[in-house]
A and B are shown apart, each in its own frame.
Chain A
Amino acid sequence: MKNLSIFLFACLFATFALVSCGEKEDVTPTPTVSLYERLGGIAAISAVVDQFLANVVGDNVINARFAPTVADPFRTQLLRNNLIDQICAGAGGPCQYKGKTMLEAHTGMQITEAEFNALVGDLVAALNQFNVPQKEKDELLAILGPMKSDIVGQ
């Protein structure tokens, strides 16, 4: 009887030990830092957007599209803030995108594939200038990539 008690106690102990080992492995926290935080927050995103828009204004392929916006300080501000909000919200940040949908904003503009590619090139150049790591760059472009169908040829 005594032996049986010892055996049962040992079994119980072993079970607890195994379960707790298993739990320990499950509980180990996996760091989930959002893309927003990895990019450096709102200050870093606004710096990248400023550089991106400066690249766009200097780019002869597409700057004519942005000329009316650049000529109007209010529209410039609206575009810049909408871009920051869009990237920030897409990257899991605390921003709220308040602009039109991409389809609404680009309908009737007949944007070509070449113009879209030039825009992406300007964005990549801005990200490169701030030495954004490849992983974060890819994640960001993956967020913006699906918007292409709503922008090109509308």
Chain B
Amino acid sequence: MRFFRFSIAVFALVCLAGWFLLRQPYSPTQELQAVSYTAFNVVVPDSIAGFSLAQAARGWEGVTASTFNPASGLLVVSHTAKITERDLLGHLQILSSKPVSKKNFPEPVGAKCPVPQAALANLPNWLLGTGIIMGLTFVLLSIAQKKSHTLELSA
């Protein structure tokens, strides 16, 4: 029991030390809503029609920015989770008389890190959580052991 408590205390300290070393300073950007950038191939008679489509898209709920590039024929929309790619495609197809398709950018080739980057970015939070839980477990075990020791003495 004593060894178990000692191990928990060491583990908690290691986790909290890891969190302290890896933690990121606070920045207001952490409060911003996540956005995605979706590109659509649009066929428009002239660039003015393309710019009008981009202008219209800016008014939709969940769209934070949009642009039309006449050279590439791409209409790019920056949007939050409030509006899906499917919704965007539907809205654009209604506005444009010609077919609209999503542009799929090629996936990166070559070796990839097997651990998802999101998991790595969340590591400090995991360490903090685990450290706190282990610390609390250590405190509770210590109290429980002290109580049982007192009961033994009184008996």
Contact = CB atoms under 8 A, between A and B. Distances in A.
B78 interface: yes
A42 B121 contact: no
A59 interface: yes
Interface stretch (A10-18, A27-35, A67-75, A139-147): A67-75
A47 interface: yes
Contacts, number: 106
Contact of B25 (A42, A78, A84, A98): A98
A51 B69 contact: no
Contact of A59 (B37, B69, B121): B69
Band of interface residues on B: 20 to 34
B4 interface: no
Contact of B78 (A53, A63, A71, A95): A53
B35 A80 contact: yes
Contact of A58 (B24, B39, B121): B39
Contacts of A96: 24-27
A84 B32 contact: yes
A50 B78 contact: yes
Interface in A39-90: 42, 46-47, 50-51, 53-55, 57-60, 63, 67-68, 70-78, 80-81, 84-85, 88
Contacts of B39: 57-58, 63, 70
6 contacts: A42-B29, A54-B67, A55-B76, A63-B39, A77-B34, A95-B27
